[in-house]
């Protein structure tokens, strides 16, 4: 049922899973498999025929990210999303992509939780324990530029399916690597409203 309830407007995007072969293994041997339960594994699903191909849709209610493939198909990935009050819905585009990105908390993050973030105000190099994980897609908006929202990896599988971040959507590292390789720059991204 989880895969059938993603909403765009008044109709469900995902309809039913399709049998597919196992996901592509990570290209980086330092990335360990996340061993998430089956319901959190990437899967190909059927979608409505009015959804354009090569777009990213994040459903915060179902903790799911869909990458549309065309021919009424999409890849579905389980995600963690922004905590209540920090998730920002809207339309964006992928303005940058980085492997093992460095990370610097925003001033708002430091203000909200100085005990956690002040020590990193000068930044943290990319690596296995970096909060952005193995890969990151940087979300931009026309006229605004970098929104500081990301779709990124995490080494913490326990955060998937939860509202845990400062606004970003996160996939486990082995899933973000596979997803990152699919997505070109300028891809349209829709972060749908959190209605539940």
Q: What is the pLDDT of residues 47-92, one digit of tens each?
A: 988 889 999 999 999 999 999 999 999 999 999 999 999 999 999 9
- Residue 187 confidence (pLDDT): 98
Which two three-digit tokens encode residue 126? 């990319």
Cα separation, 129 vs 47, in Å, equals 35
- Residue 13 confidence (pLDDT): 59
Q: Would you say the pTM of this structure is higher than 0.75?
A: yes
Q: Read off the DSSP letter of residue 80.
A: B
- Residue 112 confidence (pLDDT): 94
Q: What is the pLDDT of residues 101-125, one digit of tens each?
A: 999 999 999 999 999 999 999 999 9
Residues 6 or more apart whose Cβ sits within 8 Å of residue 160: 36, 40, 63, 78, 79, 80, 154, 170, 171, 172
Residues annotated as part of the active site? 152, 168
Give the mean model confidence (pLDDT) for residues 37-41.
Answer: 92
What structural domains does the chain harbor?
Answer: 2-191 (2.40.440.10)
Express as a percent the part of the chain with pLDDT over 90. 76
């Amino acid at each position: 049922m989880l895969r059938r309830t993603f909403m765009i407007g008044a109709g469900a995007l995902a309809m039913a899973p399709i049998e597919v072969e196992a996901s592509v293994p990570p290209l980086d041997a330092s990335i360990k498999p996340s061993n998430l339960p089956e319901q959190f594994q990437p899967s190909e699903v059927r979608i409505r025929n009015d959804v354009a191909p090569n777009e990213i849709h994040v459903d915060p209610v179902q903790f799911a990210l869909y990458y549309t493939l065309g021919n009424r198909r999409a890849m579905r990935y389980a995600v963690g999303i922004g905590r209540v009050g920090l998730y920002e819905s809207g339309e964006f585009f992928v303005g940058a992509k980085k492997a093992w990105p460095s990370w610097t908390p925003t001033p708002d993050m430091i203000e909200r939780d100085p005990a956690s973030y002040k020590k990193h105000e000068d930044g943290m190099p990319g690596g296995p324990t970096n909060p952005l994980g193995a890969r990151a897609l940087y979300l931009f908006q026309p006229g605004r530029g970098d929104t500081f929202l990301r779709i990124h990896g995490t080494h913490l599988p326990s955060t998937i399916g939860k509202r845990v971040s400062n606004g970003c959507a996160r996939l486990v590292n082995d899933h973000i690597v596979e997803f990152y390789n699919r997505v070109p720059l300028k891809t349209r991204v829709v972060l749908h409203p959190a209605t539940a």
